[in-house]
Chain A
């Protein structure tokens, strides 16, 4: 059988032993305050043609004035036509 793409796989959440979480610790990801929103953040970037994935990552670092950033998978460069 043809293997499904990970985004087409449906998973069900099953309860083993439910519990409550203490609101004094941690934070829902969607409610993170500044600067944690950046510290634990990802930008879904539309890479422009031309610069490398690495160069684009460096630009994002400069724009946001942050120390570290990394990209999730190099986009193969388009080679000039022979």
Chain B
């Protein structure tokens, strides 16, 4: 199978954990083992939207216990005989092959996945996707020409991986402390995105838009806006090298 596979380079490998927990989107073709009415197919598809239970398949790398996953949407794009072209938006860790198998069981006819393509991993979609051939070609072209615009054509800043995480922006004077693993306190914060709740995973950014760290909010957006002191975000993973910004803390 093919599709969107973001590859993080060097220091950017630290943002991978944000991508692993990011939602995914796929298009696929499911093959039914018997003829079924379109009405019945649509009814059963509707049952698989929202929270579903899923037991990971035998060959999966996680524990084979029943777990819940959220299906954000599950759209039928086309039905042609026993073939169903569908699009699904789902929580990280949803097994699509298993979803298709379970839909087949619920229909009573059985089904398997015939084709599958991932069209989104978190913020990364098929827009500006590149092949291995593109990568090789463009990298060699950069070596020949020394034109940095060529690198920018296919290498995106690691910050793009965090586009859909709730963001908190901090002033220059707070950056280096966070780079040393300090938790983020209220006075360092300049901006905060709406909708943050305690225990949400958040990304900490500089005012230039650079990612500083990943963390866990311990206050809501409203509380952060009002706070004058105290820890607002627990730093989980530092992304920016120490010393990028001056040390203005003791």
Q: Which of A19, A33, A57, A74 has the most chain B CB atoms inside 10 A of its CB?
A: A19
Majority secondary structure of chain A interface residues (helix, strand, loop or mixed): loop
For the complex, give the distance between the alpha carbons of A57 and B139 in Å.
15
Q: How many residues of B contact A (CB 8 A)?
A: 88
Asked if A42 contacts B190 (CB within 8 A), the reply is: no
Closest B residue to A20 by CB, please name it: B207
For the complex, give the distance between the alpha carbons of A78 and B115 in Å.
8
Contacts of B169 in A (CB 8 A): 13
Contacts of A33 in B (CB 8 A): 148
For the complex, give the distance between the alpha carbons of A42 and B190 in Å.
27
Asked if A19 contacts B122 (CB within 8 A), the reply is: no
Majority secondary structure of chain B interface residues (helix, strand, loop or mixed): mixed
For the complex, give the distance between the alpha carbons of A36 and B23 in Å.
28
A7-18, CB under 8 A of B: which get 1 and which 0? 111011111111
Contacts of B221 in A (CB 8 A): 14
Contacts of A4 in B (CB 8 A): 72
Asked if B172 contacts A44 (CB within 8 A), the reply is: no
Among residues 194 to 250 in chain B, which have CB atoms less than 8 Å away from a CB atom of chain A?
194-195, 206-211, 221, 224-225, 244-246
Closest A residue to B164 by CB, please name it: A6
Given contacts A14-B192, A77-B1, A39 and B10 within 8 Å (CB-CB): yes
Closest A residue to B186 by CB, please name it: A16
Given contacts A5-B23, A13-B191, A63-B132, A71 and B208 within 8 Å (CB-CB): no
Contacts of A78 in B (CB 8 A): 1, 113, 115-116
Instruction: Give the A-binding residues of B (Cβ under 8 A).
Output: 1-13, 15-16, 19-20, 22-25, 49-50, 61, 70, 72-73, 89, 92, 95-97, 112-113, 115-116, 118, 120-124, 126, 128-132, 135-136, 139, 148, 151-152, 154-161, 164, 166-167, 169, 171-172, 175, 189-195, 206-211, 221, 224-225, 244-246
